């Protein structure tokens, strides 16, 4: 275990920062805000924390905290500017934002190290701290995918007008998406530069957007679990594909293209569908062939179900609930 940890330390670190970066793009996507600004925030976070450590001698964690805060504020300002844009326009405006950040990095002279970037960012920031921060962030994102919060986010994404009519402040949610995306991107960049000790303009260009997007597209865009799957796959895949050798880039491209076209909900969506399907088969066997569409209990007429005496416990409860509801109405 320890030997595995030591030999793969770089990959483990890359997985963690990749995961947080993927979340920085995924969270706004889940709120229906088609923003790639997270990649630009990654650049801001990486460069700012590196500068703070190198020029001000700040300790690593403090530098990261400042970088996250600044990235979040810039995220908010960007959001205030462009949150009214929709769909493709928003996507391209944020791509432009990301690329402007990398042009600034190239033109920053001594401050950003121009085209060579910054290196020698040595701090006491450990992989353990990185892991703890990542778990914390993933936990927070996971919380937003449960209960009331999830339903609100879904409503804001799928039908903003309906959400507004239900008293949800859509504008505020969209702005929150920008702020969260900025903070997450800043965190990912800051953590990455601390453990890798270097950052350059090539690390934050168009390729970074594509990387984050591929993680989400292949993993799944509707759940943090999808981001985890994507981050793990795309950090470890090049290592596994080394067996194929020189054509690994091509295989990588084919995987992304196939996932983008045929698996719109990603691998996580496939897993969810598979478990549902397996569950249905198992239930079918238990109920002796009479399949009950448990996924959509609303469509089952209570009278008919009551005649079926092979109901499972849960189904019985469901029927009682529906009966009670129809009495009320």
Which residues make up the interface to other proteins (CB under 8 A)?
Answer: 34, 81-82, 85, 87-89, 91-93, 95-97, 99-100, 103-104, 106-107, 206, 210, 213-214, 217, 246-247, 249-250, 252-254, 256-262, 264
In the complex, the smallest distance separating the C-beta of residue 258 from other proteins, rounded to whole angstroms, is: 8
In the complex, the smallest distance separating the C-beta of residue 35 from other proteins, rounded to whole angstroms, is: 12
Identify the CA nearest to 31 among candidates 209, 161, 155. Answer: 155
> How far apart are the C-alpha atoms of 292 and 140, rounded to whole Å?
36
Please identify, using beta-carbon distances, which residue of 124 and 161 lies nearer to other proteins.
161
In DSSP notation, 49-109 reads: HHHHHHHH---HHHHHHHHHHHHHHHHHHHHHHHTT--HHHHHHHHHHHHHHHHHHHHH-T
Please identify, using beta-carbon distances, which residue of 95 and 272 lies nearer to other proteins.
95
With contact defined as beta carbons under 8 Å apart, do 25 and 181 qualify? yes
In the complex, the smallest distance separating the C-beta of residue 257 from other proteins, rounded to whole angstroms, is: 4
Please identify, using beta-carbon distances, which residue of 60 and 117 lies nearer to other proteins.
117
In the complex, the smallest distance separating the C-beta of residue 99 from other proteins, rounded to whole angstroms, is: 5
Residue 310 phi/psi, 5° resolution? -100, 25
In the complex, the smallest distance separating the C-beta of residue 263 from other proteins, rounded to whole angstroms, is: 10
Please identify, using beta-carbon distances, which residue of 225 and 265 lies nearer to other proteins.
265
In the complex, the smallest distance separating the C-beta of residue 285 from other proteins, rounded to whole angstroms, is: 31
Query: Residues 6 or more apart from 120 whose CB is under 8 A from it?
Result: 54, 197, 198
User: Around Cβ 32, how many Cβ atoms within 10 Å?
Assistant: 21
> How far apart are the C-alpha atoms of 157 and 117, rounded to whole Å?
38
Please identify, using beta-carbon distances, which residue of 50 and 209 lies nearer to other proteins.
209
Please identify, using beta-carbon distances, which residue of 195 and 209 lies nearer to other proteins.
209
């Amino acid at each position: 275990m320890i030997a595995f940890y030591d030999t793969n330390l770089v990959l483990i670190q890359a997985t963690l920062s990749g995961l947080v970066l993927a979340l920085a793009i995924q969270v706004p996507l889940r709120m229906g805000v088609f923003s790639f600004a997270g990649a630009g925030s990654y650049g801001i976070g990486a460069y700012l924390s590196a500068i703070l450590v190198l020029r001000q001698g700040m300790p690593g964690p403090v530098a990261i905290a400042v970088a996250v805060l600044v990235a979040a504020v810039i995220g908010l300002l960007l959001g205030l500017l462009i949150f009214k844009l929709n769909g493709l326009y928003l996507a391209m405006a944020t791509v432009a934002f990301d690329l402007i950040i990398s042009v600034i990095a190239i033109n920053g002279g001594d401050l950003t190290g121009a085209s060579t970037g910054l290196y020698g960012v040595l701090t006491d920031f450990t992989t353990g701290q990185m892991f703890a921060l990542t778990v914390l962030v993933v936990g927070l994102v996971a919380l937003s995918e449960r209960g009331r919060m999830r339903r609100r986010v879904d409503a804001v994404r799928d039908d903003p007008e309906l959400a507004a009519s239900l008293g949800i402040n859509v504008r505020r949610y969209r702005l929150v998406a920008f702020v969260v995306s900025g903070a997450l991107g800043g965190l990912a960049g800051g953590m990455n530069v601390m453990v890798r000790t270097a950052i350059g303009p090539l690390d934050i260009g168009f390729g970074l957007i594509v990387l984050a997007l591929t993680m989400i597209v292949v993993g799944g865009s509707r759940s943090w679990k999808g981001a985890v799957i994507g981050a793990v796959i795309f950090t470890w895949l090049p290592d596994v594909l080394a067996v194929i050798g020189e054509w690994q880039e091509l295989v990588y491209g084919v995987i992304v293209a196939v996932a983008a076209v045929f698996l719109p909900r990603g691998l996580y969506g496939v897993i969810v569908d598979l478990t549902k399907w397996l569950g249905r088969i198992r239930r079918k066997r238990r109920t002796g062939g009479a399949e009950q569409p448990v996924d959509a209990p609303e469509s089952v007429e209570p009278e008919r179900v009551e005649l079926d005496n092979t109901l499972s416990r849960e189904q019985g409860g469901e029927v009682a609930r529906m009966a009670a509801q129809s009495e009320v109405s």
